[in-house]
C-alpha cells in the first residue's frame, strides 16, 4: 500500500522537475511513510510514497520492465501475484524484485489492458510507455483504492489523493462543485465521476484509461457486476452456502499474504466475525483483533465483540470513542476524506486505524462489502416490505411489518405503524422504477436542502441529480428485480464512493494502515450476485446464505443477531459539555456568508435547536454534519490550503 502521483506533459517543455513531484507526493506521506521513489524524463514524472508490506527491501517503486520502456507506480496489493509470476517467467520475463508490482508490469507487456482480468487485488495503477509516450491508468473492480486526475495547461496530473494535485500547482482552481454538492446532499456521495472540486475527476471503479501525448483520454469499463442467474440454474440453499464458504476461505488466505503481521477488525456483527473465524479455523495466522467501543450505548457493540473474543481467544485491543473524541478529530477526518460527508461514522474508524498502528500493525482484514453483495441492509428489507404492502395497500395489518425495521434507532421512523406507512410511502412502481428501494432514503436526505443558500439553489435549479443517475444506470438495471437493483446500486454507488473511501481507505491510510476486504474478492462478488434474491434474504432474514455457511463456526448469538449497521453519534458529539470551540469559527455567520452555500440564519436556528436538545432526527443530523464538513472543507482546501514540503525529503530513491 502506498500513495502515487505523477505528471504527464503533452508539450515539449523542459523535463519535469523533481521538486514538482516532491510537492505532489509529500502531502500523502501518511499513505507511505517508509520512503519515496521517483522517475522522470522529458514527458513524465512519477512519484511513490511507500508502505512496505511485500518485498520489504526490494519492492521500491517506480519499477520498470527489462528494457526500461515501461514504468509503473502502483497503490495496492495483487493477492495472486505468487501464482502469476511462474507463468511469466516461463515466457521469458526476467524479474529483479520479489514484489507484486513487478508482476503487473510484465503481465501488461504480455496482455496490455487485458492483464487486469488476471489480477485478484485492490489497486490503482499507472504505467508509462516511453516508446508510445502514453500513460495507462487502472482502478480495481470495486473501487477499494482511489485514483484522481485532472488536466491543466498542457499537463495531466494523477494521484491517490486530491490534495496532491492542489499542491502540485497553485494555479489549479480550488472550487466547490455545486452539482456534486447537491448529489452528496441527496445520495450521500457523488453520483458520477466528478468530485466535490470542479475539474477534478476520479477514475471509476472497474475502469482503465489511456492518455496519449496529444492530450486525448479514453476511459473504458473492463468489469461490471455480472448477472448470470437463470431459473434453470437455481440450486438448494446449502449448495450456495458451501460454495460461498469455500470462496471466502480462499479469499481470506490470499489476503493474509504479507511480509508483515496481519490483524483483523472485529465489530461484533456477522461480517467481521466471519472473517476472524475463518482466519482462526483455516489458517495459522496469529489472530490479533481490533474494535471500537462507544460511550453511547445506542451505538456500542462491546458485548458482541467480547463474545467473539472469548469464542476465538483472540489477542484483542479496543479504542473507546466518546462524543468529545468524535468532535476533536472531525476536522482532521475531513482533511482526509477530501469531501463533504453527512455522517460522523468515519471518525471512530479514524481512531480504530490509529489503534492498529499503535500496535505496530500495518494490515487488517475487515468485513466491508458483505451487506451490499449478500443482502444485508435494512434498505433491502424495507423495499421487500413496501413491495409486499403495495399488493394490498388498504390492509391495516401489513404496515405493522415496517415496525420490524430499525429497532436499534433511538428515533426510528418505524416506531408507529401509521407514521411508518407515510414515511416509506412512494408512488414508485416496483418493477419499472430502478430506484424503488432508495426513494425513501433520498427523500429523507433531500430534506437537508432547506438549508441551502439562494445562490446554491440558483446554481443547481435545472440540475436533476436523480435524472442524471437514471441515465447512467437504467440500461444496466432495467431488467433486474427490485431487490437486485437495490443491491447493484448500493454496490456501484455508495460502496466505492463512500464506504470504501471516506470510511475505508482514507481513515485507514491516515494512519498508514492497509485494509483488506475478503468479501470484495471479485470471485465472491460475482458468485453472490448469482444467488437467487429469494435466498439472499429469505423472507426478512438478511444475509441468509452467509448465516447458513458460517453457522457451525460462529456462536448462535452472532448468527441469529438482528442486523445493527455501523453508525456513530452525529449532533450529539458536538453539543453539551464537549462542544468544540471551532464551531464558532466554521459556523459563524461571516464564514457561512463567505462560503455562500448555506443560509446563515437557518444554520443559526439549527444550532440553537441542537443546544436545547442534542438528539435530533435524521434530517437535522445529516444537515448539521453536511454543513459543518463542507465549511471545514472550504477552509482547509480553498481558503487556507497549504502544504509545506521540506527542503529535503528523507529516504528517497530516484530511479533511472
Does 127 lie in the same domain as 10? yes
Q: Which pLDDT value is given to residue 563? A: 80
Q: Are residues 11 and 122 in the same domain?
A: yes
Please give the share of the chain, as a percent, with pLDDT higher than 70.
92
Residue 382 lies in a domain: no
Residues 301, 216 within the same domain:
no
Cα distance between the two ends of the chain = 22
Q: Is residue 430 part of a domain?
A: no
- 159 lies in the same domain as 266: no
Question: How many distinct structural domains can be found in the chain?
Answer: 3
Domain with 49 in it: what CATH number?
Answer: 3.60.20.10
Q: Edge-to-edge, what's the strand order for the sheet holding 201-202?
A: 201-202, 148-152, 155-159, 2-9, 44-50, 36-40, 652-654
Q: What pLDDT score does 416 carry?
A: 55
Print the domain residue range for 279.
231-373+509-559
pLDDT at 409 (0 to 100)? 47
Specify if 453 maps to a domain.
no
Residue where a domain terminates, one of 187, 208, 224? 224
Whether 529 and 592 map to the same domain: the answer is no
Average pLDDT of the segment spanning 508-516? 97
Residue with the bigger pLDDT between 242 and 234: it is 242
With respect to residue 649, please indicate whether it lies within any of the assigned structural domains: no
Q: pLDDT grade, residue 84 (50/70/90)?
A: very high
CATH number at residue 547: 3.40.50.620
Q: Does 54 reside within a domain? A: yes
Same domain assignment for residues 538 and 584: no
Q: Which residues pair with 124 in a beta bridge?
A: 75, 139
Element (H, E) at 122: strand 121-129
Residues 243 and 163 in one domain: no
Q: Are residues 103 and 26 in the same domain?
A: yes
pLDDT at position 231 over 80: no
Report how far residue 332's alpha carbon sits from residue 321's, in angstroms, rounded to the nearest whole number: 16
pLDDT band at residue 565 under the 50/70/90 scheme:
confident
Residues 258 and 122 occupy one common structural domain? no
The pLDDT value given to residue 52: 87
| pTM for the whole structure | 0.94
Has residue 461 been placed in a domain? no
Range of weakest confidence among 151-160, 210-219, 406-415: 406-415
Same domain, 321 and 356: yes
CB-based contact 80:255 (threshold 8 Å): no
Shared domain check, 299 and 350:
yes
Residues 538, 590 share a domain: no
Q: Is residue 456 part of a domain?
A: no
Is pLDDT at 525 greater than 90 in this prediction?
yes
272 domain residue, yes or no: yes
pLDDT score of 656: 67
Q: What percent of the chain has pLDDT over 90?
A: 77
CA distances from 590 to 77, 549, 606, 633 (A): 46, 57, 17, 16
Residue recorded with cell 463567505: 594
Amino acid at each position: 500500500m502506498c500513495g502515487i502521483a505523477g505528471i504527464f506533459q503533452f508539450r515539449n517543455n523542459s523535463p519535469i522537475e523533481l521538486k514538482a513531484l516532491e510537492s505532489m507526493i509529500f502531502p500523502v506521506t501518511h499513505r507511505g511513510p517508509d520512503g519515496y521513489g521517483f522517475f522522470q524524463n522529458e514527458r513524465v514524472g512519477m512519484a511513490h510514497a511507500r508502505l512496505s508490506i511485500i518485498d520489504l527491501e526490494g519492492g521500491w517503486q517506480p519499477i520498470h520492465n527489462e528494457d526500461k520502456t515501461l514504468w509503473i507506480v502502483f497503490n495496492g496489493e495483487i493477492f495472486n501475484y505468487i501464482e502469476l509470476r511462474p507463468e511469466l517467467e516461463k515466457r521469458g520475463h526476467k524479474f529483479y524484485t520479489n514484489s507484486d508490482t513487478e508482476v503487473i508490469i510484465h503481465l501488461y507487456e504480455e496482455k496490455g489492458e487485458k492483464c487486469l482480468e488476471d489480477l485478484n487485488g485492490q489497486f490503482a495503477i499507472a504505467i508509462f510507455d516511453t516508446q508510445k509516450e502514453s500513460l495507462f491508468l487502472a482502478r480495481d473492480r470495486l473501487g477499494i483504492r482511489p485514483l484522481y486526475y485532472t488536466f491543466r495547461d498542457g499537463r495531466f496530473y494523477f494521484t491517490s489523493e486530491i490534495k496532491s494535485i492542489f499542491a502540485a500547482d497553485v494555479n489549479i482552481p480550488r472550487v466547490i462543485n455545486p452539482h456534486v454538492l447537491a448529489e452528496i446532499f441527496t445520495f450521500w456521495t457523488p453520483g458520477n465521476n466528478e468530485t466535490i472540486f470542479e475539474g477534478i475527476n476520479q477514475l471509476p471503479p472497474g475502469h482503465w484509461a489511456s492518455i496519449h501525448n496529444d492530450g486525448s483520454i479514453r476511459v473504458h469499463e473492463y468489469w461490471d457486476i455480472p448477472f448470470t442467474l437463470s431459473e434453470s440454474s437455481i440450486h438448494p440453499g446449502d449448495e450456495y452456502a458451501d460454495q460461498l464458504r469455500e470462496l471466502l476461505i480462499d479469499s481470506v488466505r490470499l489476503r493474509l499474504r504479507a511480509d508483515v503481521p496481519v490483524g483483523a477488525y472485529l465489530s461484533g456483527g456477522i461480517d467481521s466475525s466471519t472473517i476472524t473465524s475463518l482466519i482462526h479455523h483455516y489458517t495459522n495466522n496469529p489472530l490479533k483483533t481490533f474494535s471500537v467501543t462507544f460511550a453511547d450505548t445506542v451505538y456500542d457493540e462491546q458485548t458482541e465483540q467480547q463474545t467473539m473474543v472469548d469464542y476465538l481467544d483472540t489477542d484483542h485491543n479496543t479504542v473507546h470513542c466518546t462524543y468529545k473524541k468524535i468532535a476533536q478529530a472531525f476536522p482532521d477526518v475531513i482533511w482526509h476524506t477530501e469531501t463533504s460527508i453527512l455522517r460522523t461514522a468515519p471518525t471512530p474508524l479514524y481512531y480504530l486505524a490509529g489503534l492498529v498502528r499503535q500496535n505496530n500493525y500495518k494490515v487488517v482484514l475487515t468485513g466491508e462489502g458483505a451487506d451490499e453483495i449478500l443482502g444485508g441492509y435494512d434498505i433491502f428489507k424495507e423495499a421487500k416490505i413496501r413491495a409486499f404492502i403495495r399488493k394490498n395497500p388498504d390492509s391495516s395489518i401489513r404496515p405493522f411489518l415496517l415496525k420490524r425495521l430499525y429497532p436499534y434507532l433511538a428515533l426510528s421512523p418505524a416506531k408507529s405503524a401509521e407514521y411508518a406507512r407515510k414515511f416509506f410511502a412512494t408512488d414508485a412502481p416496483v418493477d419499472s422504477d430502478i430506484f424503488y428501494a432508495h426513494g425513501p432514503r433520498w427523500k429523507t436526505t433531500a430534506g437537508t436542502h432547506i438549508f441551502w443558500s439562494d445562490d446554491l439553489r440558483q446554481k443547481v435549479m435545472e440540475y436533476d441529480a436523480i435524472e442524471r443517475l437514471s441515465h447512467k444506470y437504467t440500461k444496466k438495471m432495467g431488467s433486474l428485480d427490485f431487490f437486485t437493483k437495490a443491491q447493484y446500486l448500493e454496490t456501484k454507488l455508495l460502496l466505492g464512493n463512500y464506504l470504501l473511501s471516506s470510511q475505508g481507505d482514507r481513515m485507514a491510510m491516515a494512519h498508514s494502515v492497509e485494509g483488506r476486504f475478503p468479501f470484495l474478492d471479485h470471485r465472491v462478488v460475482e458468485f453472490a450476485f448469482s444467488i437467487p434474491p429469494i435466498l439472499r434474504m429469505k423472507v426478512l432474514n438478511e444475509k441468509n446464505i452467509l448465516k447458513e455457511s458460517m453457522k457451525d463456526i460462529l456462536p448462535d448469538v452472532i448468527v441469529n443477531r438482528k442486523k445493527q449497521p455501523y453508525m456513530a453519534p452525529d449532533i450529539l458529539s458536538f453539543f453539551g459539555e464537549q462542544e468544540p470551540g471551532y464551531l464558532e469559527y466554521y459556523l459563524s455567520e461571516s464564514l457561512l456568508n463567505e462560503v455562500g452555500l448555506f443560509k446563515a440564519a437557518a444554520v443559526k436556528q439549527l444550532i440553537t435547536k441542537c443546544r436545547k436538545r442534542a438528539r435530533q432526527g435524521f434530517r437535522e443530523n445529516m444537515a448539521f454534519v453536511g454543513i459543518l464538513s463542507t465549511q471545514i472543507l472550504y477552509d482547509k482546501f480553498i481558503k487556507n490550503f497549504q502544504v509545506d514540503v521540506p527542503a529535503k525529503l528523507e529516504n528517497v530513491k530516484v530511479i533511472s
